[in-house]
Amino acid sequence: MTPFIKHLNPLYFWDVNFLILDKKKSKRLIIERIITLGNLNEIKLLINNYGRDEVIRTICKINYLDPKTLNFFSLFFKIPKKKFKCYIRKQSIPLHWNY
């Protein structure tokens, strides 16, 4: 286990064996869990370990983010929402009823 992994909260990885998480192989899982469940210190830890560009690239490829998380990272990284896969997918799914 790398020092980076040791700084993460194991509760975020309740469904996987935390002791065998690999920084490279589990990159998408780690980034997704930290951006949805973590705090600002953990987000800074992500950026320090993976680099800003890699974190942005990975976040933009995630299939689902709740609206608050999407809005936060859109503002945090100054990225238009249209660059996020989850935003594009949401817009392409027609609603059954218009309220």
Which pLDDT tens digit goes with each residue over 65-99? 999 999 999 999 999 999 999 888 776 666 566 55
| Mean pLDDT estimate for the chain | 89
The span from the CA of 61 to the CA of 11, in Å, is 24
Could you say which DSSP state residue 9 is in? -
pTM: 0.84
Angle between helices 27-37 and 52-61 (to 10 degrees): 80
The span from the CA of 36 to the CA of 10, in Å, is 14
